Amino acid sequence: MRFVFASDSLKGTISSARAAAILAEEATRAFPGVTCTKLAVADGGEGTVDAVVASLGGARVETSVADPLGRPVEAIYGMLPGNRAIIEMAAASGLPLLTHAERNPMLTSTFGTGQLVLHALRNGATEVTLAIGGSATNDGGMGAMRALGVRFLDAAGGELDGTGADLARVASIDATGLDPLVSHARFRLLCDVDNPLLGPCGATRVFAPQKGASPQQIEELEEGMASYANVLERTLGSSADQPGDGAAGGLGAAVRLFLGATSVSGIDWVLDVVGLYQALLGADLCITGEGHADEQSLHGKVVSGVAARCKQAGVPCVAIVGGMDPSALDLSNLGVDALVPTVIDCSDVTDALLHAERNYHLAAARVFSLLKLGRGLPIT
């Protein structure tokens, strides 16, 4: 028998690689001699650097950059063979870097993400893949572009910091200082949202509330983003009106317009890199999963991406999840044959997180016990 394990991380508790190791331990206990193929996977958000470096080799590079509020933070990106880099913007500009009280997209900036890109370019990268999930920002990507040499000027010619509050103040853009290394590199954006920059489905109205914006701030940010978009079009000759431009508070638009980045599905790209489809050939079972399965799991997430490939390969797929709500049952339409939550007793979230590994072991053991039962084998 051969099993494939390709689970997302269970955020804040179990990494993708650790989940695969636990599954292999429990599978071997139930089926001595079983072959286990363990893949670290991610959807273009948290864990993408680790998954890609584990699959392709290379090295994790650590450097000090600015966090969303400009404070120093140690961030990691991956340098891959062939002068390629993989960067998670959340490592520098992510929401988890802030306390709940600090969340304010009027004040946050993607400057640290631009610093990571610049560090990778100076480290020899000629291809940069940027995963942009989990941002704490709504600055239109100004901060990141500032770190790369672009100047955003107010009506008096003064340079702006590039926070969300500065959007409405941008009167002109000077891109002549864009670092020359940019022109020698290709950029790829891992993005699984198609939100535009502006409007009811845009960067501000959909995502800014999650980043701490009040109703009044949402209106100010939307008005500022519209003004900023006009300056972008006037300066660069291209409008910020493409699907995905609203990703990461408008970073999607900036990376496309200033760096010429192409956008691809994060989950599809990562699963191709780690070789999931090849691993599924001839497999008897695949186990995937994530921290919480819900309606969002149906769109561009690890579980739905893995399940779709299992369905294509004709391999049964089980998802072990930290928790779920009824909308997750629709994953059955995408190729998930069974959903198994890890929590086995009434408990609060704190208790569930504290005992995450124990609960995951028990859930894995239940899955393999049921598999033995289905194959007519004794359960010990």
- Residue 324 is predicted with a pLDDT of 87
Give the SS3 label for residue 325.
Answer: coil
| Burial class of 99 by CB neighbour count within 10 A (0 to 12, 13 to 18, 19+) | exposed
Which residues lie below 8 Å from residue 278, measured CB to CB, with a gap of 6+?
none
Structure tokens at 238: 């291209």
| C-alpha gyration radius of the chain | 22
CA 42 to chain centre: 7
Cβ contact 323:339 at 8 Å: no
- 331 Cβ contact list (under 8 Å, min separation 6): 293, 297, 298, 303, 304, 307, 319, 339
**pLDDT tens digits for 55-86?**
898 999 999 999 999 999 999 999 999 999 99
Of the pLDDT bands very low, low, confident and very high (cuts 50, 70, 90), residue 345 is low
pLDDT in tens, 261-316: 999 989 999 999 999 999 999 999 999 999 888 888 888 889 999 999 999 999 99
Confidence grade of residue 350 (pLDDT, cut at 50, 70, 90): confident
Please enumerate in sequence order all residues whose Cβ is within 8 A of that of 286, keeping only pairs 6 or more positions apart, or say none: 3, 4, 5, 6, 280, 306, 310, 315, 316, 317, 318
Question: 3-class SS at 324?
Answer: strand
Quote the tokens at residue 225.
């983003």
User: In whole angstroms, what is the distance from residue 219 CA to residue 227 CA?
Assistant: 13
At residue 365's C-alpha, the angle toward residues 361 and 369, to 5°, is: 175
CA dist., res. 117 & res. 150, Å (int): 14
Mean pLDDT confidence for 167-182: 97
Q: Dihedrals φ, ψ of 183, to 5°?
A: -70, -15
User: Can you give the pLDDT at residue 380?
Assistant: 53
Report the pLDDT value the prediction gives residue 36, as an integer from 0 to 100: 97
What is the rounded CA–CA span in Å between residue 68 and residue 89?
10
Q: Give the lowest-confidence range in 39-43, 102-106, 225-229.
A: 39-43
**373 pLDDT tier (thresholds 50, 70, 90):** confident
SS3 content of the chain, % helix, strand, coil (to 5): 45, 20, 35
How far apart CA 119 and CA 121 sit, in angstroms, is: 5
